[in-house]
């Protein structure tokens, strides 16, 4: 009997952990729904001058639009950079107010983190239901619950640059290009996750990401890829749990 109880407890614990870390409800976007050579560049943790501005210069040089997931307290400190991102035609999304690990907060705190940044974005003319990405892409149970109640999707990605671990432009470029091509065999519809800031260090150097972005765009354009904002694709994304 004790063996049965032990197995039952183990199974129950595993089920609860699975439900917490991979909630089987809500919409989690990992990939653009297309078979064309289209990819989306996304950047987290800004705005972060001077690096966001330097990144905007690179994007303008290539005539490429991107999506920026911004932290609320950074929006408050750098409204001029937010305005430039908007003026140059890029998309802005919500990346919480202070970049906590949302999955370990109660639902009311998750909701407050999202709503505070929604309010700030609205002051810049961004719709309240703008795209949302959790810090560190942790769509754990409390996050999935709050977003589902709001009928709101979570934007993840299928190509992680790992530029939060290195600012070596060679490594970032190689990682993104390799994963973009291997994600579907053609790279069609990849959502690339990069960073123009760093949550725990507002002064973090992002020059490697900027240089890598220049190289990535050049290489993918030579292979016939186009770059889009998330909002540019109707019925935009493949949905997974």
Catalytic residue list: 44, 195
Helix 2-21 and helix 141-149, axial crossing angle in degrees, nearest 10: 50
| Of 126, 96, 76, nearest in space to 229 by CA | 126
For residue 124, give the DSSP letter: T
Cα 180 from Cα 186, distance rounded (Å): 8
| Cα of 105 vs its chain's centroid, Å | 19
What SS3 class is residue 78? Answer: coil
What is the CB-side half-sphere exposure of residue 11 using CA atoms within 13 A? 6
């Amino acid at each position: 009997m004790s063996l049965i109880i032990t197995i039952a407890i183990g199974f129950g614990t595993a089920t609860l952990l699975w439900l917490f870390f991979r909630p089987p409800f809500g919409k989690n976007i990992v990939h653009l729904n297309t078979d064309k050579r289209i990819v989306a560049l996304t950047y987290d943790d800004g705005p972060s001058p001077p690096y966001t501005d330097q990144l905007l210069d690179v994007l303008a040089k290539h005539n490429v639009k991107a999506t920026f997931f911004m932290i609320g307290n950074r929006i408050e400190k750098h409204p001029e950079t937010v305005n430039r991102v908007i003026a140059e035609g890029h998309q802005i999304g919500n990346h919480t107010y202070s970049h906590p690990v949302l999955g370990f907060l109660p639902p009311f705190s998750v909701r407050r983190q999202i709503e505070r940044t929604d309010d700030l974005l609205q002051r810049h003319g961004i719709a309240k239901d703008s795209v949302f990405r959790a810090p560190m892409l942790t769509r754990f149970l409390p996050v999935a619950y709050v977003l589902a109640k709001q009928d709101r999707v979570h934007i993840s990605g299928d190509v992680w640059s790992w530029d939060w671990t290195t600012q070596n432009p060679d490594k970032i470029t190689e990682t993104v290009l390799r994963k973009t091509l291997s994600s579907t065999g053609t790279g069609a519809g990849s959502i690339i996750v990069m960073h123009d800031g760093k949550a725990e260090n507002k002064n973090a150097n992002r020059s490697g990401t900027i240089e890598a972005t220049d190289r990535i765009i050049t290489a993918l354009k030579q292979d016939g890829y186009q770059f889009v904002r998330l909002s540019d694709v109707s019925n935009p994304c493949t949905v997974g749990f």
